[in-house]
Amino acid sequence: MWQEIRDFYGFDEALAVQFVQRNDTDARVFLMSEGVARLMKSEVKLPTRMVLCGVTALERAKSSHMDACEWRLVQQGVSAIGMLGLKRRIVASKDFILRLLREKELSLAEVRQAAADGALSGLEGISSKLGAGDMRPGSLAVVLEPSAAGSASLTIVAEVTDATLELSVGSAAETAALVEELVGQPEVEQILQGSAEGDVDGKEASDVDVEMADDGGASESAVDIA
């Protein structure tokens, strides 16, 4: 298993001690820091039971492409695993990542065009062995370019299929949080302006409701009399 992960994602062999499973049948792989890895290997006089250690970094896919690794990256641990020399990564502009987050998938033709336009780089790191220009299917990290991030960093998980680049973030809530992290929260003035407009709209709606209620009452009375 480790050899498959190492070769597909381009990790150094020395990192093997930092990846662990709870047992041989576990569908998740946890990434530990160097310090925790040393602690786990240390000898003590009294037995120590570790309930959980590390961050979830990989999980076994329910199905995968024959040319891909069956162990895919997990959003929860992708930032940590990205600092270990991950080769399956592309660097993209803020606009490209926002588009992927909102549209959920992009065609490989659109990905290549974005690379040609300078909106992303690193496609050579996910190239297929089948031919030049082809992207090898499987999980990868999409990293926000430093110039767009400033002092912050952002990494999302995606997956290359035969025809598309698909977002692999776990849930809609996570996706919304990533979008907010990219675009930022609205200014206080915008929030107050929206609140004021809502109050006005609510008052106008109430006025309309009162008028409609009055008309409705008259109509019901007329019907009752008839």
Give the per-residue pLDDT at 217: 47
- By percentage, how much of the chain surpasses pLDDT 70? 75
Give the per-residue pLDDT at 40: 74
CA 107 to CA 135: how far, in whole Å? 12
Cβ contacts of residue 144 below 8 Å, gap of 6+?
91, 92, 93, 94, 97, 152, 153, 154, 155, 182
DSSP state of 117: T
Phi, psi of 200 (to 5 degrees): -65, -45
DSSP state of 63: S
> Which amino acid is located at 213 in the chain?
A
- By percentage, how much of the chain surpasses pLDDT 90? 50
| Per-residue pLDDT at 66 exceeds 80 | yes
- Dump pLDDT digits (tens) for 16-38: 989 988 877 789 999 988 888 77
Mean pLDDT of the chain: 81
Q: Could you give the angle at the alpha carbon of 97 between the alpha carbons of 67 and 124, nearest 5°?
A: 40
Confidence of residue 190 (pLDDT cuts 50, 70, 90): low
Contact (Cβ atoms closer than 8 angstroms) between residue 137 and residue 67: yes
| Per-residue pLDDT at 76 exceeds 80 | yes
Hunting for tokens 């994602």 — which residue is that? Answer: 9
Phi, psi of 190 (to 5 degrees): -70, -40
Tokens (6 digits) for 149: 């991030």
Contact (Cβ atoms closer than 8 angstroms) between residue 159 and residue 153: no
CA 70 to CA 216: how far, in whole Å? 64
Distance (Å) of CA 100 to CA 23, 34, 104, 137, 181: 35, 33, 5, 17, 14
Give the per-residue pLDDT at 10: 93
Give the per-residue pLDDT at 138: 94
| Per-residue pLDDT at 60 exceeds 90 | yes
> Which amino acid is located at 5 in the chain?
I
Q: Side-chain half-sphere of 17: how many Cα atoms within 13 Å?
A: 11
Give the per-residue pLDDT at 202: 56
- Dump pLDDT digits (tens) for 129-150: 665 568 999 999 999 998 755 5
Tokens (6 digits) for 111: 């990905």
